[in-house]
Amino acid sequence: MPHAHRSTRGPMMTDGTPLRTLDEDDLLARILPLFGGSPDLVVAPGDDAAVLLTSDQTVATTDTAVLGRDWLDAWSSGADIGHKVIVQNLADVAAMGGTPTGVLVTLVADPALSLEWVLDHARGLGLACAEAGVAVLGGDLSSAPAGVVMVSVTALGRLDGPVVLRSGATAGDVLAVCGTLGLAAAGLRLLETGSEDRHPLAVERQRRPVSPLTAGPLAARAGATAMLDVSDGLVRDGSRIARASGVVLEVDLGALEPDLAEIRAAVGVSDALECVLAGGEEHSLLATFAPEDLPPGWRVIGRARPVARGERPGLLVDGRAVAHTGWDHFRGS
């Protein structure tokens, strides 16, 4: 009974009034009030485009969620998906050292999708934006073939300090994380096996990830040399920093013991290791710093060293290479 496991009592995707019975203006009139404004929003949605107050440099990123690939109706409510797609975009802004300011949202949906689901979804989106002080700048609604629902978000942010790329880590830096590791992946395993009660928080993080957004710009100002958010897993994302920076990142497995301990009882020893090393959708921040620059709220899990002769840049866990087990979109592996 997957229905019973949904995090909220939000409507199922086809329960209620089908979108095809509404015209677009009616639908927008129902949705737009669910989005808060922002003092930075000069022209709100409803015209050809919105206008946002910006500074000298604007961070821009986009990320999409597709029904069946990124979520299942049985596991996530519309509000959950709204929350998740916003957080995963805002985390990318924070990982550059930016402060998120606005989003644009596109919903492409089967006209059989229910109005009730869409409104629940919009509430989730609106709430996640309000929590982060972010304005909804606009969006687009389009119909799609039967069974298709996808939400695409573009997030904008301002840079008040330096930008932090993936490529700036240098030998001697510490590798540090702000936030949890493996919790969202453990939640996914629990949903897959219908055993959500074994770790409700992990399931909640899978449905509604939490990213330490304000830590991004603070880390940038503290001197982070490289940073990203953990969306494809520690090994895969850490390897990206290592390769972009031309260093080897040595992760100490012992430093991950708190993360492993958190989920070991729920998913078992082997899966806990897999979740912590390779679990995606966590949206914690991973960064490198000169040791003396480490800001509060970050914990050291390893260090950067030069690439040895005959070696390639990459990430090692307790001195050993670990297979990349992150997600590849078109191959699904």
Q: Which of 12, 144, 255, 290 binds its own copies (CB under 8 A)?
A: 144
Interface segment toward its own copies; rule CB under 8 A; list 100-108, 124-132, 270-278, 308-316: 100-108
Q: In angstroms, rounded to a whole number, what is the distance separating the alpha carbons of residues 111 and 207?
A: 25
For residue 22, how far is the Cα from the chain centroid?
32
* Residue 92 binds its own copies (CB under 8 A): yes
Give the residue with the Cβ less far from its own copies, 74 or 148. Answer: 148
Give the residue with the Cβ less far from its own copies, 8 or 214. Answer: 214
The pair of three-digit structure tokens given for residue 253, joined into one six-digit string = 């497995």
Specify whether the CB–CB gap between 211 and 86 falls below 8 A.
Answer: no
Give the residue with the Cβ less far from its own copies, 155 or 267. Answer: 155
Q: In angstroms, rounded to a whole number, what is the distance separating the alpha carbons of residues 84 and 209?
A: 6
* Residue 31 binds its own copies (CB under 8 A): no
Nearest to 53 by CA among 89, 102, 106: 102
Interface segment toward its own copies; rule CB under 8 A; list 9-17, 120-128, 156-164, 291-299: 156-164
Looking at residues 221 to 240 of the shown chain, list those that interact with its own copies (rule: CB under 8 A): 227-229
DSSP for residue 308: P
Q: Rounded to whole angstroms, what are the CA distances from 298 to 31, 175, 177, 201, 244?
A: 38, 10, 5, 21, 22
* Residue 318 binds its own copies (CB under 8 A): no
For residue 1, how far is the Cα from the chain centroid?
28
Specify the 3-state DSSP secondary structure of 105.
strand
Residue 164 CB, shortest distance to its own copies, in Å, is 9
Q: In angstroms, rounded to a whole number, what is the distance separating the alpha carbons of residues 195 and 271?
A: 14
Q: Which of 4, 9, 23, 292 binds its own copies (CB under 8 A)?
A: 23
Give the residue with the Cβ less far from its own copies, 150 or 260. Answer: 150
Looking at residues 45 to 74 of the shown chain, list those that interact with its own copies (rule: CB under 8 A): 47-64, 66, 68-70
Q: Which of 17, 143, 195, 325 binds its own copies (CB under 8 A)?
A: 143
Q: Which of 123, 166, 207, 208 binds its own copies (CB under 8 A)?
A: 166
Looking at residues 235 to 264 of the shown chain, list those that interact with its own copies (rule: CB under 8 A): none
Nearest to 207 by CA among 185, 226, 178: 185
Specify whether the CB–CB gap between 308 and 266 falls below 8 A.
Answer: no
* Residue 147 binds its own copies (CB under 8 A): yes
